[in-house]
Structures are given as structure tokens and as C-alpha cells.
Amino acid sequence: MQDKVFDIAVIGLGPAGSFLVKHLDPGLRVIAIDRKSPLGDSGFHKPCGGLLAPDAQKALSAFNMTLPKSILVDPQIFSVQTIDVQTALVRHYQRFYVNLNRHRFDQWLMSQIPDQVQLHTNAICKSIVQSEGRFTVNYLQDGQTHCIQAKYLVGADGAHSLVRRSLFKDFKIKTYLSIQQWFADAHSTPFYSCVFDSELTDSYAWGLTKDDSFIFGGAFAIGSGRRDFEQLKTKLQPYGFRLENPIKTEACLVLQPFGPRNYCYGQNNAFLIGEAAGFISPSSLEGISYAIDSGYLLSQCLNNQADDPNRAYRRGTRRIRLKLMAKYLKRPFMYNQTSRKLIMQSGLMSIPILT
């Protein structure tokens, strides 16, 4: 049984989980469980547009990390075409995103996990129980169920976190259904687009050229999400979107915090990091930078063996929360239709497109 007892069990190896595990003290016994394959393009892929925002670039730069060419895709686009469907306004704004293959990005981060970590990929966590000061975790891998125990448990398993749902059932946060489809790219010019339609969603939608494909997706109300998604596709035809014959459809949940009570840090030796904790921008839905920051922060709390690591972690997230509050203040200028109309009509900071 000794080889099934760990100091720390980490569920999920997106950027949050990978950064945590990478920076944990090598003397700790750590197990990490994730659904993805560490190699190749088969298996589970996180639905994601695959743009690395400036905040995420800055977070990587703090660790002196540079991206390998293998995870980049064509083209690299320097502006976003912003469309307000209700007012029919279209503006272009300069943006500095990196266009990448999100699955390969996650695999690259996983490849840097130290060898002493017991890594279980292509595995699905099925249940979590806390009793007598330990967590019992059951997971499925290669058709077999396995059981381990750990003193500390970390949920890095995203918006639909099993750790959060199992241990913190009373936590509530606004949740959307994120849907995106892949198409063979039929547009004459590559582009990235941000779409607002207040009739169909109080969040936003996106379109993006990626190699020979075009991705269109958006965040919608859970009950009517698929219907609203299809309606928006139809409404974008006059803007030149070519969205016929999708190759594949992906869907997942995405969170959108609206205040300081929308974060779940964990308690009693259980922790939540990244989007599982609610650390995601309320304006852009960008989450990689907060995943990196919260994952590293928790690693330092656990490495320092604080008397109350939960308290140390919550206190340490103050900088993350202040950054998120600044994003919350930005949100009305994007999502309030009147404010958005005034800004777009003014042409403030927009790029004139020369034809």
C-alpha cells in the first residue's frame, strides 16, 4: 500500500497543474493524473481557440521560458476584427497574441515535469473522498480502476472541476457553455475576429484562422447554447464568415467571475488552482496567465511547509485577485451595448483598414 500513498495528488495537467508539479520540492511524493496523452494528437483535447495573450506571454517570460516552433501555427495575426452585430459596427484593433496549437502547448508543459513525479496520463479521475486526514482518489486508466491516497489534494481540472464539485458543493459561479467548430478555411484572407451579439449571449464569440482551418466558437447560456450558437453562425454570413460543413465540434464549460466571492481557494488540505478556482479573466476569458501564477504560488506554499498552507495560499492570491478585479472594471466597456457602441463609433484606438 505504501507505493499508493502520496504527499500530494494533482488532478489535471493544464498550465496550472503542470507549473505546480514542475516547481514542487523533489523530496515530496507527488502523483499527477490527467486525461490527455503526453504524445501525439490522439486522445482528449481541451477545447480552446489557442491564442496566447500578452498576460500569458508575460507569465512565461517571468520563468525565462520560450516557445518551441513545434507548437506554433500559421498565421500570426496582429489585429482583431471586432464586430457588434446589433449596431453592424466593425472595427480593427491592434493585438499581440501568439497563435498556437493548444494541445501541443499543454504537452510541452507536461514534458517538463520532473521524473520523480508519478505521472498518469490517458487517465480519468472518477471519485474523491476525504476522511481521517487523507484523500482517497479513484481513477480509470487503460480500462482499470486504481486507488491512491494523499495528504494534500490539488484540483487543477478546469471549469468543470471534479475536485470542486466533490468537496465544495456550495460554491457558485456564473458558467457558460463554450462551443467551437472547426472548418476547412474558405476565407480569402486569414483573420481573427471578436463578435458581440447581445441578443444571443452576454459574453462573446470568436473566429480564428489556424493553419488550413478556421475555428468559430463562443460562450453561451447553458440551456440555449447550441441553438444560440447556430443562430449566430447564420447572422455572421453577411460579414463574410464561411461556416458551412464543420469538420468537428467541441464543447466545454467556461467560468466568468464577477467579484471577490467568485473564487474558491480550497480548505482542509484541498486546493484549487487555475480555472478550477475561478481564476479567469471576466473580460476576455483568458486563463493561462492565472493558471501559471496560481500553480507556481501554490508550489511555494507547499514547499515552505506552512503551518496552514490553505491560509498561506489564499493570502498569496491577493495579487491575482487584484489583477482580476481590474479586468472586471474593464468588462462594462466591452459588454455593455451602449458603452461598446460609443467606443466603436468614436474609432478610438482602432486601425483604419486600407484597401
Q: pLDDT tens string for the chain (355 positions)?
A: 446 999 999 999 999 999 999 999 999 999 999 999 998 888 889 889 999 999 999 999 999 999 999 999 999 999 999 999 999 999 999 999 999 999 999 999 999 999 999 999 999 999 999 998 899 999 999 999 999 999 999 999 999 999 999 999 999 899 999 999 999 999 999 999 999 999 999 999 999 999 999 999 999 999 999 999 999 999 999 999 999 999 999 999 999 888 778 899 999 999 999 999 999 999 999 999 999 999 999 999 999 987 899 999 999 999 999 999 999 988 888 999 999 999 999 999 999 988 7
Q: Which of 307, 254, 264 is nearest to 163 (CA)?
A: 264
Q: Which triple of cell numbers denotes residue 109? A: 508543459
**Are 12 and 145 members of one domain?**
yes
- The CATH number of whichever domain residue 192 belongs to comes to 3.30.9.10
Determine which helix (DSSP H) or strand (DSSP E) holds 13, and give its type and residue range.
Answer: none
Does residue 52 sit within a domain? no
The beta strand positions in 223-355, using DSSP E, are 248-255, 270-272
Q: Residue 223: give the domain boundaries.
A: 69-100+174-256+331-346
Does residue 137 sit within a domain? yes
**Are 250 and 274 members of one domain?**
no
Give the pLDDT score at 15: 98
**Are 151 and 218 members of one domain?**
no
Does residue 251 sit within a domain? yes
Collapsing DSSP to helix, strand or coil, 301 comes out as helix
Q: How many CA atoms lie within 13 A of 197 on its CB side?
A: 22
Give the pLDDT score at 3: 64
Torsion sign, CA atoms 352, 54, 249, 231: negative
**Are 178 and 306 members of one domain?**
no
Cβ atoms of 320 and 289 within 8 Å: the answer is no
Give the pLDDT score at 40: 86
Cβ atoms of 317 and 265 within 8 Å: the answer is yes
Give the pLDDT score at 331: 87
What one-letter code names the amino acid at 295? G
**Are 315 and 299 members of one domain?**
yes
**Are 153 and 189 members of one domain?**
no
Q: Which of 251, 230, 250 is nearest to 241 (CA)?
A: 230
Whole-angstrom Cα Rg for the chain: 21
Instruction: Please give the model's pTM, rounded to 2 decimal places.
Output: 0.95
**Are 266 and 342 members of one domain?**
no
